[in-house]
Amino acid sequence: MDEQARTRLEAKRAEVVAQMEQLSAPVQDQGSISFGKRVGDGTAMAVDRLTAVSAHDTLQDLLTGIDGALAALEDGSYGRCRVCGESIPEGRLEARPWATTCVRHG
């Protein structure tokens, strides 16, 4: 289970890092955001940027969880809730291998 979990976690980590890099890439030909004749364009660009920032924050949280699960694999605590110490159900770990808490504390 541990090697399978490690493989899944490392694959998910690589996917998340790639998504974060894509979101962090400079926007090409963004132009200037102005609120003159074409207010809608500036608003749409601002909304797109805020959406990207929010997505980046969500991915950063996921990456932190994945790194925590990888650390738990290293120290032998993987599969145990970090709050109560009970076993995390296998189904939860299959669905979210980065889970570090049981359903009750998740």
In the chain, what are the domain boundaries? 2-23+40-95
Distance CA 42, CA 75 (A): 49
Instruction: Single out the residue of 92, 94, 98 nearest to residue 62, CA to CA.
Output: 98
Q: Which residue has the tokens 């995390």?
A: 88
User: For the residues 24-37, what does the mean pLDDT come to?
Assistant: 59
Distance CA 2, CA 21 (A): 28
pLDDT value of residue 44: 73
Determine contact, residues 46/33, Cβ cutoff 8 Å.
yes
Altogether, the residues listed in the chain come to a count of 106
Of 19-23, 33-37, 45-49, minimum mean pLDDT range:
33-37
Q: Note the pTM of the prediction, 2 decimals.
A: 0.76
Determine contact, residues 1/73, Cβ cutoff 8 Å.
no
Determine contact, residues 20/63, Cβ cutoff 8 Å.
yes
